[in-house]
Structure 1
Amino acid sequence: MTATTAWLADPYSDALRAGRGPLFLRRDDGWLLPLEVERWCEAPDLADRSVLDRCHGAVLDVGCGPGRLVAALAAEGRRALGIDVSPEAVGRAVRLGATALCRSVFDPLPGEGRWDTVLLIDGNVGIGGDPATLLRRLRQVVSRSGLVIAECVPVDVDERCEVRVDDGRGGRGAPFPWARVGVRALSEHAAAAGWTVSERWDLWGRHFVRLTRQSPSVLR
C-alpha cells in the first residue's frame, strides 16, 4: 500500500469534509500525533503569514491540504499551485479559489525547474519518510535561484517511522512511511541534499527554516 493510497482513507477525507478532527497519525506502538485539521481549514494565521511573506515568484505548495496557503496566495494575485494526494483536499482547495492538482511530489509536475518557492508546511517535510530524498527531489523542481520554506518539529528529533491516519474512534487508514525532524536534523538532511539553511524563525510555537541552494563550490 502506497502513501498516496493511505491518504485516500476515509478518516482523512471525513475530517476534511467536516473541517475538524479528531485526527491523528498513529505509530504501530500506539503513539499518536494530533493533526490540526481545524487550523488547516481556517484562514492563514500569523505564523502562516510569516511564511507567505517570505514567498517570492511562482509558489508550489507541496501537500497543500485543504488549501489555505495556496488560496491566500491566489487571492493576492500571485502565481501558486497546490499539490496533494487527497482528492478531498484538492477539491476543498479549489473551492477556496486555489489552483490545485491531485499529484504526488514524486510524480512529474508542471513547471519542473521553474518554481521560485516551494512550501513544506504542516509537517510535510515528512512526506515519503526520508527528508533528504524529498529535498533532493525538490532541487529538480525549483529554479536555479529557488528556495524551500519548511516547517520543523519544535523539538530536537530525527525520526522515521510507519504511521496510519487514525480518527481515534476505530477508523484507520493503511500504513505509510513518515518522518519528523527538528531544526538541527533538517539542517543536516538539507546539507546532504544540496541546500543551505539561510534563515530560521519561530512564531506561535511553530518553527520554520528557509533553504537555498548550496553553491557549486560547496557541492564539490
Structure 2
Amino acid sequence: MSRARTTAAPPLGPQRPTPARPLPAADPAWSADPYADALRAGRGPLFLRRADGWLLPLDVERWCAEPDPADLEVLGRCEGAVLDVGCGPGRLVAALGAQGRRALGVDVSEAAVAHTVRRGGRALRASVFDPLPGTGRWDTALLMDGNIGIGGDPAALLHRMARVLTAGGLLLAETVPYPDVDERVTVRVTGPHDTPGALFPWARLGTPALLRRARACGWRAADRWSTDGRTFVALRRTRNRRTHPARRPHGTRQRREGAAGPPAPARHPTLTPDASRPTSDASRPTPHPPTLTPDARHLTPDASRPTPDADARRLTSDA
C-alpha cells in the first residue's frame, strides 16, 4: 500500500452568502423513488434491470455502512486532494474528511448528495461530464462500486478523468470480479416492486477489459489487487500525452472545456466551474451549473502548489 501524499490546504477564506441559483434537473435514473427510498432506508433490495430482464443486485447496505477493509485499502492509496465520482451516500468522502483530507463527492442524485452531507462529507450534485471545480488539479479520482460504468462508454469516461486529474494523477477504479466481463448495456434502477425507472446506458468491465481500454486512452497500470472478493485497478495518467476532449456519451450537448476557465489561484479559491456524467451517473444534458452544497462551496485542490511528480459503488457480483 502506498503512503498517502499530503499537500498544503489552500486558504478557504470566509463563507459568503451567494445568490440563489436554480437547481439542475434531477437525473431521472438515479433520482427515481426506488434509489432515493433505498438510501433513506439504508437497505435494498435494489437492482439494475437490463433490457432483457436480467437483474444485478446493488449493495445498498454496504454503501450506507462505514468503509469496510476493501474500502480502507483504497483510501490508504489515495494521494492529495480526492474526487469521488458517483459518491453515492458518501461513505468514502466522509471517511476521508474525518482523516482531515481534502475530498469532494460528485453525484447526480440529490438523495445521495444529501446523505453524504449528513455524514459530514462534502458533495456536489453534478455529472462528471459537467463543468467541475478544480479540473486538472485533483490528485486522485475514485470510480468505486462499479462506477467505471458511468455513461456506458468507458473510453469517454477515461478521457474525462484524464482532464479532471493533475498530470500524473491517480485513478482508482473498482472492476467486476469476473475477468471475462466486458459489456455495454442499457439498464434501469428498480426496487422490490419493480417500479419502472428511466433507461440509461451502463458498462461493466472486468480488470483485463479495463486495462485494455485504459492503455488505448493513454493510461498506464500502476497496480491491481483484490480484497474480500472485490477487484481494483490503479491507473496513472501518461505524462505529455495529448488528452482527447471529453465527450458526453450519446451526443448530449456539452460546453467547451475552459470556456469559463478553471478556478484561478486567487486569495480565496472557490468552486467556480471551469468548462468542459453520470453515479451513480447517467448521461444527461444539464442546462444549469452544478449545485454546490454549502460545505463544498470553497473546496478545490490547491491551485498555487506545483504539480506533484508521479510515482509508481462497486456493483456486486453477477446475480
Q: Which residue of 1 aligns with 2:236?
A: 212
Rounded to whole Å, the distance in 2 between the matches of 1:196 and 1:114 is 19
| 1:13 aligned residue (33, 36, 45) | 36
- Output aligned runs, 1:110-189, within 5 Å: 110-155=133-178, 156-189=180-213
Alignment root-mean-square deviation, CA = 1.6
Number of corresponding residues? 218
1:101 aligns to what SS in structure 2?
Answer: strand
Q: Deviation digits for residues 17-75 of structure 1, max 9, x if unmatched?
A: 10000000000111000000000000000000010000010000000000000000000
Question: How big is the shift at 1:214?
Answer: 2.1
Unaligned runs of 5+ in 2: 1-24, 244-319
Q: Which residue of 1 aligns with 2:100?
A: 77
Rounded to whole Å, the distance in 1 between the matches of 2:175 and 2:139 is 21
TM-score, normalised to structure 1's length?
0.96
Rounded to whole Å, the distance in 1 between the matches of 2:75 and 2:223 is 14
Indicate conservation of the 8 Å contact 2:81/2:140, yes or no: yes
Rounded to whole Å, the distance in 2 between the matches of 1:40 and 1:170 is 21
Rounded to whole Å, the distance in 2 between the matches of 1:47 and 1:103 is 26
Q: Deviation digits for residues 86-108 of structure 1, max 9, x if unmatched?
A: 00000000000000010100000
State the AA in 1 paired with 2:106.
I
Q: Which has the higher helix share?
A: 1
* Greater relative contact order, per chain length (Cα 8 Å cut-off, separation 6+): 2
Matched, 1:99 2:132: no
Task: From the superposition, tell whether residues 32 and 69 of structure 1 become closer, same or farther in structure 2 (CA, over 3 Å).
Answer: same
- Which of the pair has more CA radius of gyration? 2
Q: Which has the higher strand share?
A: 1
Q: Which residue of 2 aligns with 1:190?
A: 214
Matched, 1:43 2:66: yes
Rounded to whole Å, the distance in 2 between the matches of 1:98 and 1:7 is 20
Rounded to whole Å, the distance in 2 between the matches of 1:217 and 1:8 is 37
TM-score, normalised to structure 2's length?
0.67
Rounded to whole Å, the distance in 2 between the matches of 1:217 and 1:26 is 38
